Amino acid sequence: MKTVLAEHAGFCFGVNKAVKSVYELLGSDKDIYTFGPIIHNDTVVNDLSQKGVKVIDSTEELLKIRDSIVVIRAHGIPEDTYSLIEKNNNMLVDGTCPFVKHIHKIVRERSLEGSSILIIGSADHPEVIGIKGWVKGDSYVIENKDDAYAFLHDRDKPICIVSQTTFNLIKFQELVEIIKNKGYNVNVVDTICNATKERQESAEDIASKVDVMLVIGGRNSSNTQKLYSICKEKCPATYFITCLDDLNFDIPKTASLVGITAGASTPNNIIEEVQNYVRINF
């Protein structure tokens, strides 16, 4: 079976930086924790767990940690959580993606200047929760057209619109247009990272040309879910898998070309395993 791999797939710069920061700490005489899973990939998180790295899921758990190392995950955290990490003599290692930190700076500055902050993304996603935690005033989150049409705001107060870094670019533009058409005083900052844009465009291009499309990534990965949706629109025979073990279905006999892409939290070795298996066994 012939395969074609998306030009932009797998670990992005921010994820690679975060994961590397944890592996470099292994062997320390201090206990190592990450505030939330370092990335949305069970294979990586489980490997770190086997090496002794523990995951903290709440500020309540965080306050019980003392004299340890706490790594901030790639998605970032609210501003006030930084002081909680260092409260009990813990060493803080910041693995926040630089693109996410840039959004933190934008929303902090613009809100202090008097703007409301409108975040386009998933309200329950850790990156969005972190962004909201840097706003010094009003903040709102919308994710779809219904949210955008229902959004109401004081017309005399400016609005700064930012996006979750992994949001779908086309949908972001559609939602921004709806808000603009309401006549509000809007300033738009496109904060979808270049890696996300490139990955989505590359996946869409390949999906439009292949018989079968495989999208590899964590089930909780927002950017992988969006890749799947984009590919599914172009190629009905699109499958979401987390690793080689999920490749337990039959690819249609009529298929001659299989496309492969992967989310930003997918290690290269998993991508290579899937690609090699498809080449040899189908």
Residue 117's alpha-carbon distances to 123, 132, 169, 177, 186, in angstroms, are 13, 8, 19, 16, 10
Active site residues per annotation: 127
| 231 phi, psi to nearest 5 deg | -70, -40
Pairing of strands 69-72, 91-94: parallel
What does 168-214 look like in DSSP terms, one character per residue? -HHHHHHHHHHHHTTT--EEE-----HHHHHHHHHHHHHHTT-SEEE
| 127 phi, psi to nearest 5 deg | -65, -45
Contact 225, 165 (CB under 8 A): no
Quote the tokens at residue 271: 């991508």
Q: Cα separation of 198 and 267, whole Å? A: 17
The residues facing 239 across adjacent strands are: 214
Quote the tokens at residue 48: 């770190």
What's at 246, amino acid-wise?
D
Tell me which DSSP letter residue 127 carries: H
By C-alpha distance, which of 97, 118, 127, 119 is closest to 221? 127
Contact 62, 72 (CB under 8 A): no
Q: Cα separation of 64 and 58, whole Å? A: 10
